[in-house]
Structures are given as structure tokens and as C-alpha cells.
Amino acid sequence: MEEIKSIQWFPGHMTRTKRKIESQLKLIDAVAILLDARVPYSSCNPDLRSIINNKPRLVVLNKCDMADPIQTKKWLELFKGRGIAAIALDCKTGRGLNAFIPTVKNVLSDRIQAWKEKGMTGRTIKVMIVGIPNVGKSSFINRMSKQNRAKVEDRPGVTRGNQWFTIGKGFDLLDTPGVLWPKFDDPGVGERLAYIGSVKDDILDTEQLSGRLLEYLRDNYIEPLCVRYKLKKEDIEYLQGYEILEMIGKKRGMLISGGEINTERAAATVLDEFRSAALGRLTIDKAEDYPDVRV
Ligand code: G4P
């Protein structure tokens, strides 16, 4: 799997993907936009709305097993309040997948009624699956189609053929023809995608990155942070990220010769443990910060 930052994005790729998706729109009835439930804002492609135009759509918050359930509920309410159908699920256990077909039917209820009136009862409903790399598109399609297919690389320039998958009950899924890019112009987005491991962190300063993550956790999830690293709330609530990182390194006995704390190792540990949800189910993009979210 190519990771987002290692992809050489350039306007040519973006235009090609846009064109390919546009040319497929006439073949489909709805678009399912996969977002990562830990970063629903940051994992949304900024140009999607103009690409999919007026097609009926629904949001699928994937990887819920790793996201804060309270935040996931808030995101679902936020989308609902903005008239956007949304469901939460995870492709690891398959929890929530059953809601997909009924939600698509609901989104398309007027059309389904119109088809019925025209006598088109056996019509297959076709849904395009879109999302930035690593959000879980392949996992979702595999789960829904209950077949293991070879993973197709998400690499610009490598054409993903038109891939249709039958999921039964009169539904077909179309894998995205092309790759959707994340928001480039918001540095916060790059950082948040790096926290969850969707952006390669070897091109970023890991100590700085984990320091920033620790500050976010200090402000939003201090309890799970303290539990995981055996820290005291009162000891860290006024500390900078780097100082928390040093405390963690010390607690974990990560020292280099001379007794200095190996903050680089501590940083890698914090990032790994966050990504594997060892700190618990945590959300980075909080629903209350994005009241105007649009997809
Ligand atoms: P993509 O097609 O959108 O690029 O994403 P893909 O399905 O390849 O998923 C990217 C990674 O996210 C995979 O992990 C996959 O297992 C994991 N994943 C997908 N959905 C979920 C989910 O709901 N919960 C959790 N916890 N993980 C999920 P990987 O480590 O890259 O690959 P693998 O070793 O698991 O195959």
C-alpha cells in the first residue's frame, strides 16, 4: 500500500481521477464516501463535492473500532443534522455493515419508488465507493462482497480497471476509478493523518509529531494517556508535549548511554501505540470543531 505522502501527487493525476470518476457517474446510483472515524474531517477529499456533483451520497465512518464512540455518535448526529446520511462501522469485526444496504435504499427511496412505478423492479442498485488511501475501501468491498480479492495498489498512474463487485440483494459496488487525495493545503490535516499512520512519518519529525499528539491527548484524553503511561494528571497537565514525551521515555526506561532519555524511541512507541489503539478508542477530529462539515 502506497502511503499518502509517498504518492507523487500532481495535477495530471488529479485531473485523470476526476475525469474517470465523472465518466463513471452515469453508471451509478449513489456514492458511498468512506471516512476514517478517527479523523472524519481530515480523511475527506476536499474536491469530492465538485467531482460527484449532485449524485445521492452517504457517509461511511469506517474504523469505528478505534474511534471514540461518543465522538462517532456526535459525528453521526452532525451529518444527520446537515441532511447527510451517515453510518458507522468497522471492517475489522464487521460491526455495523448490516446498515449499509438499508441506508443506501433510504437515500435512494424516491428513485426506487420511481423505478417501481415504471415497472423496473429488478433493477440493480450501483454504488461507487470512494475515499482517500488507507481509509479501508478494499476492506469494505471485501467484507461486503465476502470474497477475497487481490489488493490493487492505490498508485496514481496505475490504472485500476473498472471493478464491480456484486454484494447480493440487487446491489453492485464499484471500486473507485482512481485515487482521491487528502487536503494538501491544511497542514493540520497532514499532521492528523500522520498520527493515524496514513502519512509516512519518516519524512516528518517523529518527536515533534508525537509531542503534538501528546498535547492533543493531554487536552482531550488525559485519562487514557495517564493510564497507558502510568502518569499522574497533575504532573502532566501543564507540560509541553516534548516534556510529556521525556516522562514517558523515563517511565519506560528508554535511556541511551549517559542516562539521557531516548526520546526518539519514546516518540516511535507513542505513535505505534496510538495507531494500534493501545491507548483506547480515541478521535482526533472532534465533531464540535466542524459544525459546517460538507461532503
Ligand atoms: P484502502 O483500500 O482504502 O487503501 O484501505 P485498506 O482496505 O487497504 O485498509 C487500510 C488498512 O486499514 C489495512 O491495514 C486494513 O486492515 C485496515 N482497516 C480497514 N478497515 C478497518 C477497520 O474498520 N478497523 C481497523 N482496525 N482496521 C481497518 P494494513 O495494516 O494496511 O493491512 P492488513 O495487514 O490489515 O491487511
Half-sphere exposure in the Cβ direction for 213 (13 Å, CA): 30
Cα 237 to ligand 1 centre (Å): 34
Q: Work out the pLDDT band at 156, boundaries 50, 70, 90.
A: very low
Q: What percent of the chain is predicted at pLDDT more than 70?
A: 91
pLDDT in tens, 97-133: 999 999 999 999 999 999 999 998 889 999 999 999 9
**Pairing between β-strand 57-62 and β-strand 164-168 as defined by DSSP bridges:** unpaired
Instruction: List all residues whose CB is within 6 A of at least one atom of ligand 1.
Output: 1, 62-63, 65-66, 90-92, 131, 133-139, 154
d(CA 273, CA 120): 52
Task: Give the Å distance between the CA of 62 and the centre of ligand 1.
Answer: 10
Please give the pLDDT value at position 150.
41
Phi-psi region of 104 (alpha: psi -120 to 50; beta: other; left: phi over 0): alpha
Given the CA of residue 154, which atom of ligand 1 is nearest to it?
A: 4
Residue 145: closest CA among 160, 166, 114: 166
168-181 pLDDT, tens digit per residue, is 889 999 999 888 99
Q: How confident is the model at residue 137 (pLDDT cuts 50, 70, 90)?
A: very high
Residues carrying CATH 3.40.50.300, the chain = 12-183
135 C-alpha vs ligand 1 centroid, how far in Å? 7
Q: Where is 34: in which H helix or E strand?
A: strand 30-36
Cell (9 digits) for 44: 475527506
* Fold adopted by 12-183: Rossmann fold (3.40.50)
* Three-state SS at 147: coil
* Dihedral angle of Cα 41, 42, 45, 47, to the nearest 10 degrees: 70
pTM > 0.85: yes or no: yes
The CATH architecture to which 187-275 belongs is Orthogonal Bundle (1.10)
How far apart are the C-alpha atoms of 276 and 236, rounded to whole Å? 23
Mutate to test the pocket of ligand 1, among 91, 155, 199 (most ligand atoms within 8 A of CB): 91
Q: What is the mean pLDDT of residues 198-223?
A: 90
Atom of ligand 1 nearest to the CA of 90: 23
- Please list the residue range(s) of the chain that carry CATH number 1.10.1580.10: 187-275
Amino acid at 119: G
C-alpha cell of 219? 487536552
